[in-house]
Amino acid sequence: MMSILVSAIQAVFLIAVSPLITGIVKKVKALMQHRRGADILQPYRDLAKLLRKDETVSESTSFLFRVIPFVCMAAMTLLAFMTPVFFTGILAPYGDIVTLVYLFTLYRFCMVLGGLEGGSVFGGMGSSREMMMSVLIEPALLLALMSMCVLSNGGTDISSIPTLLIALGSAAFCPALLLAAASFAITLVAENARIPFDNPATHLELTMIHEGMLLEYSGRGLALMELSSEMRLTIFMTMLGTMFFPWGISTTLEGLDLLVGLVAILVKLVVFAFLLAVLESSISKSRLFKTPNMLTASFVLALLAIISLYIL
């Protein structure tokens, strides 16, 4: 029961902190561009404002258009329950790598369907671009996670990976870990439609992918879509911090260990948010037809990680 309670607390923590991470990224980007920018709590105000507004729905949509935001939010909530945050003992054996990847795929499928449901040309354009990128994102994501399963010898159970990596100690620092982490970092940027793959701060039809699929949403539906998108970014950062660099996470239910794990994941999330903001402020968005090259590089890195485990 205590393990289930901690898993629920971890899920609530991810939901609550997700807008804050987005606010930190936006604030750091504004400072690097010599702008004052909004404070880091602005995403909470935006969500509260959207929740108070009514929805405007096109006559050409079906009931799926209203259902999709709830499905997206449900998928990210399930992922929040499955992801180790500051404690490794999550709801095993339900926290499986394959299930995790398919939940990300379900979220993407619903996003694409929502973009098409609106009947907008821009929505269809964003949906087609998203599907083009997903062909290379999903294999790279699955290979990067599977390489950690092989490295830790713990099967596909998510909760066993951090525990076994911590038990390996310094032996866990090997080329496979670095290659898999690099592949996952590229996938993180691509999956969340960040620069150089997409610019989340623009609504130009020639550049937008993620935003194009949300143009027809408003009010509560848009709030759920925005919150689930922020949760996806935070979950990816959390997975990078706990499954690839798990040092600091608690493996027991002791109060002090849980507190150390909480502080460790907060520090990691802030560092990752800062690095993402620096990356987006240092480079520009690439051309659409060059993005497969970067995604192929991510796939090759993950493949090299698995090969190195059997060679080295």
Q: Reduce the DSSP state of residue 69 to 3 states and report it.
A: helix
Confirm if 249 and 261 have CB atoms less than 8 A apart.
yes
Among the ranges given (52-66, 84-98, 224-238), the one the predictor scored with the smallest mean pLDDT: 84-98
Q: Where residue 134 falls among pLDDT bands split at 50, 70, 90?
A: confident
What residue has token string 């964003």? 126
Enter the pTM of the model. Answer: 0.93
Q: Is the dihedral of CA 108, 193, 237, 297 positive or negative?
A: positive
* 157 bridge partner residues: 96
Position with higher pLDDT, 175 vs 208: 175
Give percent above pLDDT 70 in the chain: 96
Q: What is the pLDDT of residue 132?
A: 84
pLDDT exceeds 90 at position 159:
no
Token code pair at residue 291: 């993005």
Q: What is the pLDDT of residue 204?
A: 62
Q: Reduce the DSSP state of residue 119 to 3 states and report it.
A: coil
- Average pLDDT rounded to a whole number, residues 54-58: 86
pLDDT exceeds 60 at position 209:
yes
Token code pair at residue 257: 């260990």
Tell me the backbone φ, ψ of residue 87, rounded to 5 degrees. -145, 135
What residue has token string 């949300």? 214
- Average pLDDT rounded to a whole number, residues 189-217: 78
Confirm if 24 and 45 have CB atoms less than 8 A apart.
no
Q: What is the pLDDT of residue 95?
A: 72
- Average pLDDT rounded to a whole number, residues 36-50: 93
* 96 bridge partner residues: 157
Q: What is the pLDDT of residue 91?
A: 58
pLDDT exceeds 90 at position 232:
yes
Position with higher pLDDT, 171 vs 49: 49
Segments in 33-120 forming alpha helices (H): 42-52, 64-82, 97-117
Confirm if 127 and 210 have CB atoms less than 8 A apart.
no
CA distance 238 to 72: 19
- Tally of CB atoms within 10 A around 220: 17
* Average pLDDT score over the chain: 88
CA distance 99 to 112: 20
pLDDT digits (tens, 9 = 90+) for 73-109: 999 999 998 888 998 876 555 678 888 889 999 999 9
Q: Where residue 199 falls among pLDDT bands split at 50, 70, 90?
A: confident
Confirm if 73 and 224 have CB atoms less than 8 A apart.
yes
